Structure 1
Amino acid sequence: MSLKERIGQVEERIQAACDRSGRAREDVHIVAVTKYVSVEMTHMVLEEGIIHLGENRPQIAGPKWEALGDQGIWHFIGHIQSRKVKDIVGKFQYIHSLDRLSLAKELEKRAADADTEVSAFLQVNVSGEESKQGITPEEAEQFLTEAADLTHVKIIGLMTMAPIEDDPEATRPFFRELRRLRDELNAKGVTKEPLTELSMGMSDDFEVAIEEGATWVRLGTILVGKGEEK
């Protein structure tokens, strides 16, 4: 199946999920996870009109960014080591994996030095799995309160990764909980501006995530195909 055909099928499924949940298609954005594919395939994704690209390692993303940087909008979706922040700020407009205050402060410092702004998602480990990064739901309010003075890092929403399940329906409680948490934080007025975004849902469960309020879905294999993975 060609890239165009895969994108077409994904679009149909996203539209159907939006229809089922009474949402507008334009409220859901695709991040094409290109971390396992070549510069050439990444360029093809851009040519098909998907401009949001997800990478998780600065050293792998580097050649793609050098070749295609201003053609796309770049999202960092992996765990960030503080020493790698210098390689991320100024190249990635979105960070989906803000998971500790020390990282927020380092991002703020680097973004201020570069006179730029970074949009970030606070990563929440809703499932409680030890293998997953992120703060607990109970820690979110304090984190956002302590990060309130950041001026170059704008926390726009929450992100989570659901457990891998054979039945996508089993992921629904985790996505629902992230939406509930966001709404609770907004009701309390924890942040200066409301948190509007939810980054949740991947190739195996994005339809359920959309039904539960995802505004960003991170899609890799289902878009770029297994044949392109290293």
Structure 2
Amino acid sequence: MIRENLEAVKKSMADSGRKAGRDPGEVTLIAVSKTKPVSSLGEAYDTGIRDFGENKVQELLDKMQELPSDIRWHMIGHLQRNKVKYIVGKVALIHSVDSLRLAEEISREAMKQKTETDILIEVNVAGESSKYGVSVEEAPVLVSRIAALPAVHIRGLMTIAPFTEDAEENRPYFRRLKQLSVDIRQKNIDNVSMDILSMGMTGDYSVAIEEGATCVRVGTGIFGERRGIEL
């Protein structure tokens, strides 16, 4: 089932890319594997998937120990400062940096470990009170401040769009994040590149790709719904 799901997702991604006049190879599929067993991740790995996203630090670390070392792990969930030390040097990209204090902690830990850490700035484009992320208006200032920190490199932006039945409703949010990345790039800030746009999930990744996503985070579309306890 996972192999078939992945084939369908990849085809849909390619179709969306072509519709927008983009090379399908420009978009990275991140398999969001939170709550899923290692066996399911192994199935996805066997199809060629190498980018996996986790929401919780401990779950990421546990799975990392059991799976091949060539996997690129992405921290996509809210990251607490006291958990930074566990993942710096181990993940390919931290998607969810939304404050200067968090970035400072990542910088300190990266220097301590003599490593470099790539991050994305999480932007709450829709302004939802239930979501983390800096506002669109505050993002450029935060970017400029974090850019001055050593051992941390801003690679782009991330957003989590509202849950909706109609993916078209999220198009304006994806479009706004893309425009924000263009505006920030034009500032030519040292240590900032806007080459990554992490946006789009199972329900709306096609629209996100049409609006410029370079990373989409797909969980349910690959692994299926999370099963509850059956009574």
Fold conserved between structures, TM > 0.5:
yes
Q: State the partner residue of 2:152.
A: 153
1:44, CA displacement in angstroms?
1.6
Residues 134-188 of structure 1 deviation map (CA, whole Å, 9 limit, x = unaligned): 1111111111111122231111000001111111001000000000000011112
Q: State the partner residue of 1:70.
A: 69
Task: Give the structure-2-normalised TM-score.
Answer: 0.95
- Greater per-residue helix proportion: 1
1:76, CA displacement in angstroms?
0.2
CA distance in structure 2 between the partners assigned to 1:112 and 1:228 by the alignment: 41
Q: State the partner residue of 1:137.
A: 136
1:193, CA displacement in angstroms?
4.3
Q: State the partner residue of 2:97.
A: 98
Task: Give the structure-1-normalised TM-score.
Answer: 0.95
2:205 is aligned with what amino acid? F
Q: Secondary structure at the match of 2:67?
A: helix
1:210 is aligned with what amino acid? I
Q: State the partner residue of 1:5.
A: 4
Residues 52-73 of structure 1 deviation map (CA, whole Å, 9 limit, x = unaligned): 0101111222221111151300
Change (3 A) 1:133 1:191: farther
User: In the alignment, is residue 27 of structure 1 matched against residue 26 of structure 2?
Assistant: yes
Q: State the partner residue of 1:210.
A: 209
User: In the alignment, is residue 81 of structure 1 matched against residue 94 of structure 2?
Assistant: no
Greater shift, 71-80 or 181-190, is seen at: 181-190
1:227, CA displacement in angstroms?
5.8
Residues 10-46 of structure 1 deviation map (CA, whole Å, 9 limit, x = unaligned): 1110011011100001100011001121111112211
1:224, CA displacement in angstroms?
1.2
1:223 is aligned with what amino acid? I
Q: State the partner residue of 2:50.
A: 51
Q: State the partner residue of 1:112.
A: 111
1:162 is aligned with what amino acid? A
1:192, CA displacement in angstroms?
3.8
CA distance in structure 1 between the partners assigned to 2:153 and 2:68 by the alignment: 21
For structure 1, the 5+ residue unaligned runs are none
1:141 is aligned with what amino acid? P
CA distance in structure 1 between the partners assigned to 2:8 and 2:191 by the alignment: 39
1:128 is aligned with what amino acid? G
Residues 148-227 of structure 1: pairs in structure 2 closer than 5 A = 148-226=147-225
8 Å Cα contact 2:154-2:193 kept in structure 1:
no
1:121, CA displacement in angstroms?
0.7
1:229, CA displacement in angstroms?
7.5
Greater shift, 48-57 or 108-117, is seen at: 108-117
CA RMSD of aligned residues (A): 1.4
Change (3 A) 1:228 1:6: farther
Identity among equivalent positions (%) equals 39
Q: Secondary structure at the match of 1:132?
A: coil
8 Å Cα contact 1:36-1:228 kept in structure 2:
no
CA distance in structure 1 between the partners assigned to 2:126 and 2:68 by the alignment: 34
